[in-house]
Amino acid sequence: MTEKPVETWRPTRAVFVAGFALVLLFLTLFSAYGHVPGPAVAALVLPGVLTPTLIAAAALGVLSVGRFAPEAKIQKRLLYAVIGGLPIGLLAMGGMLAAYHSGPSVTYVAVTVAIAGPLGGLVAGARPISTIAAGAAAGVLASAIGLLVAYFQNDLVDLFGNQETVGSMADASYRLQLTSSIVSGIAAGAMAFGYLRRTGLALPWPAYPLAGGIPGLLTLGAALIGWIGGLPLSHAVAKESEFDAAIIANRLPEQVNHGLILLFAGAFVAMILVGRTLKRD
């Protein structure tokens, strides 16, 4: 029996992924709108906007590459991937400017968010395209979990041991963050595996952990882009408040830890799940 090719283009599933990614980006931008009074909050919000921007850009890049260059060489694939991600960057830039339209380093914030679109789209240039689509779907799920945790954070912090003291609040917040990162990673790995299995394609097993790790890779990318693009913003905050600047600086290790947990948990879960199916086959 002849195996199915690994590069078969399935637009329906990719369109659904892109649609959910856009909804996630809109929700993120809506939550930021009206809640960014100054540079300190803008610096804290920026990485949170960049992650769904990269995910949505990757999802739109999949649509662009799959529609116009599914069998093309890498140069043409990357071109259409960038074209697919560009509108997402412009959309995210407009949303961020609506939230933070005046104050120091506005230009740097706008450029940083705009550039994230084409950079996220570049991911879609990799083969097989179904793996990138699965990774984008996993990223949407992981980020949706993050939004839910943020929305119910006050109740969840109490559930994790907050006793209304500084020490207990810090410990509860750490436990909540660690738990949500692990749960998001597990969910991302399971989503990536399920998406790829439902395609029915004869994919090599490394495609599964790669798809499961894509949300973590995009989260780490958002942390890096946010740190580089947000440096002028951080300097502006430091001039106003050294305390706020220290809080912003401490957020970078937290974001990196979250991205690493997502990366390894997602890849590991997807690898274990595909390994179990290979044993049964």
Looking at residue 267, its pLDDT comes to 96
Is residue 212 within 8 Å of 271, Cβ to Cβ?
Answer: yes
**Angstrom distance (rounded) from CA 84 to CA 76:** 12
Looking at residue 34, its pLDDT comes to 65
Higher pLDDT, 81 or 108: 81
Q: Please choose, from the candidates 11, 227, 262, 265, the residue with its C-alpha nearest in 3D space to the C-alpha of residue 139.
A: 262
By the 10 Å C-beta count (0-12 exposed, 13-18 middle, 19+ buried), 116 is classed as buried
Res. 87: pLDDT tops 90: yes
Hey, how many other C-beta atoms are within 10 angstroms of the C-beta on 198?
A: 11
Is residue 267 within 8 Å of 212, Cβ to Cβ?
Answer: yes
Q: Out of 4-18, 92-106, 142-156, 248-262, pick the least confident.
A: 4-18
Domain boundaries, position 255: 11-280
Higher pLDDT, 156 or 189: 189
Q: Which residues contact 95 (CB under 8 A, 6 or more apart)?
A: 25, 26, 29, 32, 33, 49
Higher pLDDT, 70 or 116: 116
Q: Is residue 5 part of a domain?
A: no
Q: Is residue 174 part of a domain?
A: yes
**Angstrom distance (rounded) from CA 262 to CA 183:** 9
Q: Is residue 41 part of a domain?
A: yes
Percent of the chain with pLDDT over 90: 47
Q: Is residue 3 part of a domain?
A: no
Q: What angle do CA 165, 169, 170 make, to 5 degrees?
A: 120
* Largest interatomic CA distance in the chain: 69
Q: Is residue 1 part of a domain?
A: no
Over residues 146-151, mean pLDDT: 88
By the 10 Å C-beta count (0-12 exposed, 13-18 middle, 19+ buried), 75 is classed as exposed
Q: Out of 20-24, 54-58, 171-175, pick the least confident.
A: 171-175
Q: Is residue 66 part of a domain?
A: yes
Looking at residue 52, its pLDDT comes to 94
Rg, the chain, Cα only: 19
* Alpha carbon distances (Å) from 270 to 163, 200, 202, 203: 37, 16, 16, 13
**Angstrom distance (rounded) from CA 212 to CA 233:** 33
Residue type, 261: I
Residues across the chain = 281
Res. 150: pLDDT tops 80: yes
Q: Out of 6-15, 73-82, 168-177, 267-276, pick the least confident.
A: 6-15
Structure tokens at 11: 């637009």
Number of domains in the chain: 1
Q: Is residue 4 part of a domain?
A: no
Q: Out of 35-39, 121-125, 259-263, pick the least confident.
A: 35-39
Res. 125: pLDDT tops 80: yes
Res. 107: pLDDT tops 50: yes
Question: pLDDT tens, 206-250?
Answer: 999 999 999 999 999 999 998 888 888 788 778 777 877 787 888
Q: Is residue 206 part of a domain?
A: yes
Higher pLDDT, 275 or 32: 275
Looking at residue 3, its pLDDT comes to 45
